[in-house]
Amino acid sequence: MKNLPLDKQIFVQNRSRFIKAMKSDSIAIFVSNDEWPTNGDAIHRFKQNSDLYWLSGITQEESMVILFPDNIDKKFREVLVLVRPNEQKEKWDGKRLRVEEARAISGIETIVWLDSLEGLLQAWVHQADNIYLDTNENDRKSNYLQSSEYRYVAEMRTKYPLHNFFRAAKIMKELRAIKTKDEVAVIQQAIDITKVTFDRVCRFVKPGVWEHEIEAEIIHSFLSQRATGEAYGSIVASGDRARILHYINNNQECKSGELILMDFGAEYGGYCADLSRTIPVNGKFTKRQKQVYDACLHLHNYAKGLLKPGISIVDYTDKVGEEATKQFIAIGLITKADVKNEDKENRAYRKYLYHGISHHLGIDVHDLGTRTEPIKQGMVFTVEPGIYIEEEQMGIRIENNLWITKNGNVDLMKNIAITTEDIEALMKGKK
């Protein structure tokens, strides 16, 4: 990673939390993501399995984490498995972790080379009654691939058919949703990098700039601040393209009189920021743009006031929808008659706000966590209402990241310009 080393206690603490949730006489095994091919002999840039990273901080391919708290041999209760360094391969692909380096990152004392694991693992599994294996159970996952974790599940169930198998993902969904203070501090670093980038972009934008030029400024700013890179593909959508929620073509000219909806965030130390702002290309909101923007900002602040321990995301979204209905009537998007005659399964306001208001944020930009259970202290959420008006070729979204505490929430992006006045001042170089 390009970032400065994180405190290994983040990962020590995470493993401790997982171990406490395991049944007795159990072993848990986590495997790396695959290296995915592109074309020819090339591969996509490797991205570590989020659960394995959460437990270890290790970003190297072909790694494993094995947790067996009841192992008779104490030194094998926490094991990090790495590929053995190979001088010839390192000439092509770069240096691989040595034992002391891996210990410093993960806090795991026992390092085992992958090519010597098989005999050791068999003995450990024979001691255990239960085996925890990991799969991707993020509720937003939309497709099934025969990736490494699923292949490993099939392999282990074939080798050890009489063991009891349990889902590590069920525990991970609970634990990863609750961030420790140390994790939030890393998220804040990603957000601070994102703030500097937003300020830079606001001073860069002017009529005639192209969306991809703005994207280049974003990436340059991220990397110059030691971010790993983008937390996700940056959205830079001017004019009517702002109504496309996941617009990533970023290949059109930005014209005077248009708004630019930008949705981007840095990744730092494996953790993500997620910011959305909408700014005028020429540095000045029109009267109508300001009216719609202020309605969206009202919804944003209203939603922030609701987001606290005890409410579920489902109930919270319903309440924001009620307020959106009032705002959309006020700015002339819908009428009281529209509301009276609306389909309760497809509310009238949904024509202009057709996505959710919040999602969990952490190692994954759409992080693990439930939408139906009450929100708990320690969770981190986005708050991102939008207003998308086809008739006016306008799209506005405003998004901050909030940390839930026992007393309410903390806006981790409170220092990023958000009002029309502050945005205009920033674009003029007055902030």
Please report the sign of the dihedral spanned by the C-alpha atoms of residue 243, residue 244, residue 246, residue 249: negative
Are residues 76 and 124 in contact, defined by beta-carbon separation less than 8 angstroms?
Answer: yes
CATH of span 181-427? 3.90.230.10
Q: What is the pLDDT of residues 207-222, one digit of tens each?
A: 999 999 999 999 999 9
> Strand 400-405 and strand 380-383: pairing?
antiparallel
C-alpha to C-alpha distance for 358 and 380, rounded to whole angstroms: 10
Q: What is the pLDDT of residues 367-421, one digit of tens each?
A: 999 888 999 999 999 999 999 999 999 999 999 999 999 888 999 999 999 999 9
pLDDT at 70 over 90: yes
Contacts of 6 (CB under 8 A, 6+ apart): 57, 105, 186, 269, 270
Identity at 219, one-letter amino acid code: I
Q: Domain spans of the chain?
A: 9-176, 181-427
pTM for this predicted structure: 0.96
Q: What is the pLDDT of residues 308-364, one digit of tens each?
A: 999 999 999 999 999 999 999 999 999 999 999 999 889 999 999 999 999 999 999
> Strand 64-67 and strand 78-82: pairing?
antiparallel
Are residues 356 and 312 in contact, defined by beta-carbon separation less than 8 angstroms?
Answer: no
DSSP-derived secondary structure letter, 346: B
C-alpha to C-alpha distance for 17 and 349, rounded to whole angstroms: 42
Query: Count of CB atoms within 10 A of residue 312's CB?
Result: 14
Q: What is the pLDDT of residues 231-264, one digit of tens each?
A: 999 999 999 999 999 999 999 999 999 999 999 9
The residue with tokens 């919804």 is 299
Are residues 358 and 381 in contact, defined by beta-carbon separation less than 8 angstroms?
Answer: yes
Are residues 113 and 81 in contact, defined by beta-carbon separation less than 8 angstroms?
Answer: yes
Fold classified for 9-176:
Creatine Amidinohydrolase; Chain A, domain 1 (3.40.350)
Helix axes 287-306, 313-330, angle to 10 degrees: 150
Q: What is the pLDDT of residues 158-208, one digit of tens each?
A: 999 999 999 999 999 999 999 999 999 999 999 999 999 999 999 999 999
Query: Count of CB atoms within 10 A of residue 232's CB?
Result: 17
> Strand 130-133 and strand 164-167: pairing?
parallel
